[in-house]
Amino acid sequence: MSGNIDVRGLSCPEPVIRTKQALDQGLTNITVLADSRVSAENIRRLVKNYDCSCTVDDQNGEFTITINKEGK
């Protein structure tokens, strides 16, 4: 299952909480949109604890975080 999460404009820890909820619901492919480097880094650390792959694409301060849990 896949999903998209838009956490732009939200303050920490809300972006991490929303990403964690999606992972806990069993989503295996998640795209997170963020507008904070701190949020992107915190989400990347969370994902590492879930043993998922994660890529972060920074486009002028807009971050697209792609999370993949399949095969893990």
- pLDDT tens, 35-46? 999 999 999 999
Measured N-to-C along each axis, helices 14-24 and 37-49 cross at an angle, to the nearest 10 degrees, of 30
Specify the CATH number for the domain of residue 44. 3.30.110.40
The percentage of the chain sitting over the pLDDT mark of 70, rounded to a whole number, equals 97
Q: d(Cα 7, Cα 9) in Å, to the nearest integer?
A: 6
- At 69 the pLDDT is 85
Inter-residue contact 15 to 23 (CB < 8 Å):
no
Q: d(Cα 9, Cα 48) in Å, to the nearest integer?
A: 23
Q: Mean pLDDT across the stretch 14-41?
A: 96
How many residues are given for the chain?
72
Q: State how many domains the chain has.
A: 1
Going by C-alpha positions, the residue among 15, 55, 13 that lies closest to residue 35 is 15
